[in-house]
Amino acid sequence: MKDLIENDFNDQEDYFEEYDDTFREILTKMINGDKTKIILKKIKPSMYQQALNEFMRYGKIMRYPTKYIDAWKDIVIRNTIFLEVNTMFYGHTNYFDVDMFNDEVLNTDETGESVRDWSQAWEYMEEKGYDVVLDEFMPKFSNGHDLISDFGLQPLQNVVRSLFETQDPNQILVLINKALDISHQRSDLSEIFIEGGESSLNRISGLDENVLRIIREETIRIFS
């Protein structure tokens, strides 16, 4: 994936451009048999805690370098895009970018081959063994589940829309914190954005890990 600090997001047009680029990159890796793992950049917990401590002490960022907060903003936006593309690609949304699939994978203009929907595209990928390649290079949650979200995606998109509307580091920090608090029933959604995910956030907040483990297990039991 591209260097997050080199390519800041300025507006939602950048979002859609990155969405297309991300899907195209995944498809290119797939058809080329490139099994090199995609590594998502994430927030470093110690740096995040320093910024939070300053914010909680003074009610605003005073001395903490705002360039890091801007970089975290990009991480949340870019990794949300990856989550959105992945969720679409694995058939968990109402939309599938069949045009790009036909262009990038089937080269429809040259071959005349095409698919009409996600199910046909996935059937084609299985026939070609592309699903095996995808499994090698796609990032996953630490519990081994695919990096998709049926219920967390919309709240994250709402946060991203708000991030586009502000350059204020204090507001950005609050929105990042909101993104990290969004829950996902079966996996730790925060680990997409911050190293260590929920465990790091628990250490930052001082919450007891054993109590939280019991809560997580009970939540999974209720919703399973």
pLDDT at 56: 85
Which pair of tokens denotes residue 118?
């996600």
Please tell me the distance from the alpha carbon of residue 102 to that of residue 120, in angstroms, as a whole number. 11
Is 43 buried (19+), middle (13-18) or exposed (0-12) by CB count in 10 A?
A: buried
Which pair of tokens denotes residue 194?
């911050």
Which phi and psi (to 5°) does residue 178 adopt? -65, -40
pLDDT interval class at 184 (50, 70, 90)? low
SS3 content of the chain, % helix, strand, coil (to 5): 65, 0, 35
Percent of the chain with pLDDT over 90: 65
Is a pLDDT exceeding 60 seen at residue 140? Answer: yes
pLDDT at 196: 94
Please tell me the distance from the alpha carbon of residue 149 to that of residue 18, in angstroms, as a whole number. 19
pLDDT interval class at 213 (50, 70, 90)? low
Q: Where are the domains of the chain?
A: 12-223
pLDDT at 202: 85
29 touches 188 (CB < 8 A): no
Please tell me the distance from the alpha carbon of residue 199 to that of residue 202, in angstroms, as a whole number. 5
Is a pLDDT exceeding 50 seen at residue 27? Answer: yes
Please tell me the distance from the alpha carbon of residue 99 to that of residue 158, in angstroms, as a whole number. 26
What is the per-residue pLDDT across 55-105, written as a single tens digit (0 to 9) for each? Answer: 888 889 999 999 999 999 999 999 999 999 999 999 998 889 999 999 999
**Is 10 or 106 the better-scoring residue by pLDDT?**
106
pLDDT at 215: 45
